[in-house]
Amino acid sequence: PSPRLSAVRGEIVHFLADPAADPRALEHFADGVLIVRDGHVAECGPAAALLPKLPAGTPLADHRGKLILPGFVDTHVHYPQTDIIASHGEQLLEWLEKYTFPAERRFADRAHAAEVAGFFCDELLRNGTTTAAAFATVHAASVDALFEAARARRMRMITGKVLMDRNCPDFLRDTAETGYAESKALIERWHNRDRLLYAITPRFAPTSTPAQMTLAGRLFNEHPGVFLQSHLAENRAEVAWVAQLYPQARSYLDVYARAGQLGTRAVFAHCIWLDDADRRHMAETGAAISFCPTSNLFLGSGLFDLRRARALGVRVGLGTDVGGGTSFSMLQTMNEAYKVLQLAGQSLSAASAFHLATLGGAHSLYLDDRIGNLAPGKEADFVVLNPRATPLLERRSAACATLEERLFVLMMLGDDRAVAATHVLGVPV
């Protein structure tokens, strides 16, 4: 049980808007205090102004020398792939067959699902991630397992049952009708219960029949407020396969569009091989992209064009995409995002990277009214980062002159070791 009122003191950094659009978006209190009431941010500001106002006896955790930021938002990750992270040697389609499908088969066993779900949530929190949009498997009970694990930890979690009725092993196959019915039952059981949100989850166009795609789109439109998550234009062989499977579609994105799957709260991972018509279509419908740099490099998928997505007004968040991705750490994900963009001559500022990992991710998921920064009224999910967590971090941070430099060093050299504490609804976990 959380005390009604508590406070933390440290160097506070968060965003009030997108720093790429508004140079005053980053708010910084070198000696700041964050006051939490009933799990929500009551106030956030300079210690000198807020400390005198704190009622006597309010618990105050002193994190001076450390940074306090909003909890990270991982907009695309697969909890059943926790155990195949770092599997060698393949690109997407072969990697799915060789590693992913066998790993996902094990989630027919509820006890296994529960054990992995618990580890997964703990690992997110250890890395400072307090909200994720996660794939489960085709098994409805794998969704129950993750929601139960997240609920026990009071986390905001989005997940859903994978829909897959062709081009996959029998042991992972549903049907258009059972997929629809089971997803609908899961929506009724879980969506909006505590902090949990449901995502209709067609794996990707190749593993669903047109009939399943249509029913998934119908379900999405029948349940306003529910999410839809999938993969889009990740790998060139995949894109060619989709063109064969759906010859009538103008593009890969058009397959989802024709099935009624674009709209607000639709999130598509990767989106490397899109054209501007696709990007415009995503922007117009409010669909979001999850940029997954560690996965895109690890699976050799390609280089995401953030500048173009931004220029055309598409919402973008960051995703780890574990186990195609190689780290649960959003700091490491920012590091790789920077490098991917370097290869395209695009320079990602530290402010933009931290924005993507917090408020930008929340905005891409239409959750920025509840999470993503430390504005009054927001859910008090935050992370305490130690810029001296390792000898190298300490040495390099000491040589920094500006906040931007310190944030950049943290995202390049930091990982779970830099996470001193993670708070969910104001409470350290």
d(CA 221, CA 343): 39
In the list 37, 66, 78, 265, the residue contacting ligand GUN (rule: CB under 6 A) is 78
Residue with the shortest CB distance to ligand GUN: 324
Contacts of 152 (CB under 8 A, 6+ apart): none
Nearer to ligand GUN, 100 or 373 (CB): 100
Restricting to residues 323-382, which ones interact with ligand GUN according to CB under 6 A? 324
In the list 11, 74, 144, 234, the residue contacting ligand GUN (rule: CB under 6 A) is 234
Closest among 107, 209, 210, 104 to 167, alpha carbons compared: 209
Tell me which residue has tokens 């669903």.
Answer: 208
Query: In this structure, how many other beta carbons lie within 10 angstroms of the beta carbon of residue 398?
Result: 11
Structure token digits, residue 186? 């899961």
Q: Does 422 bind ligand GUN (CB under 6 A)?
A: no
Are 309 and 275 within 8 A, CB to CB?
A: no
Q: How far is the CB of 137 from ligand GUN (least distance, A)?
A: 10
Q: How far is the CB of 204 from Zn ion (least distance, A)?
A: 9
Q: How many CA atoms lie within 13 A of 23 on its CB side?
A: 0
Strands 5-15, 26-37: pairing kind = antiparallel
Nearer to ligand GUN, 33 or 117 (CB): 117
Residue ranges of E strands in 288-408: 288-291, 315-318, 382-385
Determine the interface stretch with Zn ion among 86-94, 143-151, 268-276, 279-287 (rule: CB under 5 A): 268-276
Q: Does 321 bind ligand GUN (CB under 6 A)?
A: yes
228 forms bridges with which residues in the sheet? Answer: 200, 266
d(CA 140, CA 255): 25
The binding track of 244-263 with respect to Zn ion, each residue x by CB under 5 A or -, is --------------------
The binding track of 295-334 with respect to Zn ion, each residue x by CB under 5 A or -, is --------------------------x-------------
Q: Does 92 bind ligand GUN (CB under 6 A)?
A: yes
Residue ranges in contact with ligand GUN by CB under 6 A: 78, 92, 96, 100, 203-204, 231, 234, 295, 321, 324
Return residues touching Zn ion (CB under 5 A).
Answer: 269, 321
